[in-house]
Structure 1
């Protein structure tokens, strides 16, 4: 098992076909031709989502002056689109020097929300969850981009090992649905796995 937050490392793993199972984006797989070269097949995928700037006291504005005096919470994970990549793209589009911003990094989306709820920061960049409205107002969110394609789990299938694909799909689904985040409630299965009923017969029949 290998855990890495670096896209370059992920690309090396996929390009060489090192990983047997990998969590990645469809566009990365297509760019590396990993599906045709190493027979990676999607097993299960997470739902699409939208990135937002979220505040606890006002609706964020997408203009330069608004961000300059704000404490902004981002995810300390360079490959996160909603928590890192897209907000920095917004700042670049608005011609804002990152050094001029008061950016506070957190290790998880939950940590960002906790800091926002405690008033340690003025706004965060993340996705909107169903249970967010318990602590924040959906009137105080501003979309950063359109719909983002969710990540998918891919299995390298050198053989048509359908049983393995179905079992992996089942295990990932159980783990995902055990998480507290509502983001994991909707999953897309890419294998139609059918469980056949068991029939008990008397010996000799």
Structure 2
């Protein structure tokens, strides 16, 4: 008989030690396998895809009439209106309406005329391209709007009332109404949010859904001046009463076509009016 096997039989501690080493190796392998597994995101609302509406135009036109909006709520109604607009037929091959965060607009977008129509603020465009008027012309100035904190219950801005509460904001840090002004209001009230009290969402409809489900206690909401808010004013606190909404700008080369400009203004006013009565 093999001497090594005899030694194995006569030394039980060798058997126990080897089994312990095997068990330790298996546990270690299992541990590293668990670490390597993908972890679920902490937010209950995953980021949605880049919003874009596109449609072909009849006729022999070429190129794309590109529209850039800063609210995803306008993308679909604008696309539906412009895709049936005779003034664009024959000049362009398709219409594309897209939404992106303000910070994603670049100087190259302006100087290379990547958009024929866009919604933004003068100071933002000036910061990107000081002489942006060479590329864009103001088409339609928008009215000021009001910013509120909207709660499931009436909103009170105090450290005691805010304790343990959660505030829903937009993840776009350049948004005045969705990010900056609500945080200014907290700061003015001497409120310092604790970790976890601020929840961030990509779109306003996600904010509204979170409030309805009770995932947050307050959200930021807006209403155009002169229009009835879509929410219950008794549960809202006004934090900014006169915020400029910016303007619509058109490619300066297209601005010379007065008929086209008037047509676009008509569609923009109709789309904006339709949205004022809906949650923003």
TM-score of the aligned structures, taking structure 2 as reference length: 0.53
Contact 1:53–1:60 under 8 Å retained in 2:
no
The higher relative CO (CA closer than 8 Å, separation ≥ 6) is in 1
After superposition, what is the alpha-carbon deviation per residue over 1:171-192, rounded to whole angstroms, capped at 9, x for unaligned?
323333444x4279xxxxxxxx
1:59 maps to 2:59 = no
Q: Secondary structure at the match of 1:130?
A: coil
Superposition RMSD in Å? 3.1
Q: For residues 21 and 13 of structure 1, what CA distance do their matches in structure 2 show?
A: 15
Contact 1:78–1:85 under 8 Å retained in 2:
yes
Q: For residues 142 and 77 of structure 1, what CA distance do their matches in structure 2 show?
A: 22
After superposition, what is the alpha-carbon deviation per residue over 1:81-124, rounded to whole angstroms, capped at 9, x for unaligned?
21112123334556766662422233332332233233332111
Q: For residues 172 and 243 of structure 2, what CA distance do their matches in structure 1 show?
A: 17
Q: For residues 98 and 37 of structure 1, what CA distance do their matches in structure 2 show?
A: 44
Runs of 4+ in structure 1 deviating by more than 6 angstroms, as ranges, are none
Contact 1:73–1:103 under 8 Å retained in 2:
yes
Give 1 or 2 for the bigger CA radius of gyration: 2
Question: Which residue of 2 is the match for residue 33 of structure 1?
Answer: 130
After superposition, what is the alpha-carbon deviation per residue over 1:140-170, rounded to whole angstroms, capped at 9, x for unaligned?
3222223111132101223622122112212
Q: For residues 131 and 90 of structure 1, what CA distance do their matches in structure 2 show?
A: 20
Structure 2's unaligned 5+ residue stretches are: 1-65, 67-97
Q: Secondary structure at the match of 1:28?
A: helix
Contact 2:110–2:132 under 8 Å retained in 1:
no
* Partner residue of 2:138 out of 31, 42, 46: 42
Q: For residues 221 and 139 of structure 2, what CA distance do their matches in structure 1 show?
A: 26
Q: For residues 125 and 201 of structure 2, what CA distance do their matches in structure 1 show?
A: 28
Q: For residues 132 and 155 of structure 2, what CA distance do their matches in structure 1 show?
A: 42
- Please report how far the alpha carbon of residue 53 of structure 1 lies from its aligned counterpart in structure 2 after TM superposition: 1.1
